[in-house]
Amino acid sequence: MSYSPKNLTSLGLLGITAEIRKEIMLSLTVNDYSSGPEADQNFSGEICKFGITVGDKQVYIKLKIEDQKHRKVAKCLSFHIADHDIYYPYK
């Protein structure tokens, strides 16, 4: 995961540890889906965006799906309090 100040601040404010973040990402469903997959503008791979609610905050999650040694791997690029409302097409 990218440990930008925005991500670190949000994780601290929400009380989310690395283990909790992993559990959240593994439990994402179609109801949490927002958009994607779309091509990564900087590198190979695809980006998918999700959102969840933690307490009273919407949390934006951006995952990158890339090929590594002939298998698909998801990487967390963003996990922070959303800057704006998240659209959920399947909720």
Bridge partners (DSSP) listed for residue 46: 39, 65
Does residue 89 lie within any of the structural domains? no
Residue 16's CB is within 10 A of a number of other CB atoms, namely: 17
For the stretch 4-59, pLDDT in tens is 888 888 888 898 998 999 999 999 999 999 999 998 888 888 899 999 999 999 99
pLDDT at residue 2 greater than cutoff 60: no
On whether the CB atoms of residues 62 and 47 are closer than 8 A, the answer is yes
- Which has the minimum average pLDDT: 26-35, 59-68, 78-87? 59-68
- Containing domain of residue 49, as a range? 5-81
Does residue 62 lie within any of the structural domains? yes
pLDDT at residue 1 greater than cutoff 80: no
Does residue 91 lie within any of the structural domains? no
Does residue 18 lie within any of the structural domains? yes
Count: domains in the chain: 1
pLDDT at residue 74 greater than cutoff 90: no
pLDDT of 72 reads: 84
Give the Å distances, CA to CA, from 4 to 38, 43, 72: 22, 19, 25
